[in-house]
């Protein structure tokens, strides 16, 4: 894994600059496919999708800054000035909920679905077992946080209704909610042979009445 030159991004709201570590090269060794469709490549870590400005707490999608070519030309800064910048701070699921609530109905539906998916993954991160199958002990979220997460899953499920592309995500949400029969009905409709390895393992988890996020073995 070879680190590359940092990318420098301005906050879209206040302009405060932050440093994003990048990779020159990596590999797919140790890749883990999770049941919530998150893929983790330890030897090729990617920058966070959603970040929070450490100056004004604005929450933004990092790819938006890159896509709109607002990245700062590092040649306009000294190495010391680049090194002095704070590293981008990954947002939390609470940051994402706050942003969706503040933006409301004006947010593009697809963007909102992606944000809610990332928030779901962040919530699941706390319960992902390590290589030895152990789940790290973390503080139990308070009731308000759990209620926000439950609402997020309901909204996410509603936004995915009827779309085959999101079938396995729907299945996973239903399974995590304990709706095992409904999750199995989603699996019954999945006929893509390339996804049979996911379907088989999801079926086994449903049969075991297991509602936890789990690593899947790639078939």
Contact positions vs Zn ion (CB under 5 A): 11, 13-14, 16, 53, 55-56, 58
Cβ proximity to Zn ion: between 54 and 177 the closer is: 54
> Which residue number, 10 or 141, has a Cβ lying nearer to Zn ion?
10
Find the distance separating the first CA and the last CA of the chain, reported in whole Å: 26
Q: How many Å is the maximal CA-CA distance in the chain?
A: 59
By C-alpha distance, which of 26, 29, 27, 6 is closest to 18?
6
Identify which of residues 41 and 58 has a Cβ nearer to Zn ion in the complex. 58
* Nearest-angstrom CA–CA distance, 116 and 149: 10
**In whole angstroms, how close is the CB of 16 to Zn ion at the nearest point?**
5
Residue with Cβ nearer Zn ion (10 or 26) = 10
Of the two residues 70 and 151, which places its CB atom closer to Zn ion in the complex?
70
Closest approach, Cβ 55 to Zn ion, in A, equals 5
Whether 186 and 171 have beta carbons less than 8 Å apart is answered as yes
> In the complex, what is the shortest distance from the CB of residue 56 to Zn ion, in angstroms, rounded to a whole number?
3
When the beta carbons of 11 and 96 are compared against Zn ion, the nearer one is 11
Closest approach of Cβ 13 to Zn ion, in Å?
Answer: 5
CB 114 within 8 A of CB 156: no
Dist. CA 68–CA 117, nearest whole Å: 23
User: Is there a contact between 123 and 149 (Cβ–Cβ < 8 Å)?
Assistant: yes
Measured from the CB of residue 27, what is the shortest distance to Zn ion in angstroms?
34
CB of 81 to Zn ion, least distance (A): 18
* Distances, alpha carbon 106 to alpha carbons 11, 78, 92, 180, 188, in Å: 21, 40, 22, 34, 35
**Residue 58 CB burial class (10 angstroms; 0-12, 13-18, ≥19):** middle
């Amino acid at each position: 894994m070879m680190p590359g030159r940092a990318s420098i991004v301005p906050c879209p709201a206040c302009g405060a600059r932050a440093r994003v570590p990048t990779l020159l090269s990596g590999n797919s060794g140790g890749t883990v496919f999770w049941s919530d469709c998150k893929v983790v490549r330890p030897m090729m870590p990617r920058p966070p999708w959603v970040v929070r400005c450490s100056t004004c707490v604005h929450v933004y999608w990092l790819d938006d800054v890159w896509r709109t070519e607002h990245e700062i030309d590092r040649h306009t800064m000294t190495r010391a000035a680049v090194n002095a910048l704070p590293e981008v701070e990954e947002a939390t699921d609470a940051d994402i909920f706050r942003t969706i609530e503040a933006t409301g109905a004006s947010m593009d539906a697809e963007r909102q679905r992606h944000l809610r998916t990332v928030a779901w993954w962040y919530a699941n991160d706390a319960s992902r077992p390590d290589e030895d199958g152990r789940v790290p002990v973390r503080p139990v979220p308070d009731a308000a946080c759990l209620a926000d997460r439950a609402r997020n899953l309901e909204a996410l499920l509603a936004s995915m209704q009827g779309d085959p592309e999101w079938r396995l995500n729907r299945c996973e949400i239903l399974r995590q909610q304990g709706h095992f029969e409904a999750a199995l009905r989603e699996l019954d409709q999945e006929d893509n042979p390339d996804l049979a390895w996911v379907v088989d393992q999801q079926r086994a988890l449903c049969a075991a009445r297991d509602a936890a996020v789990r690593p899947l073995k790639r078939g």
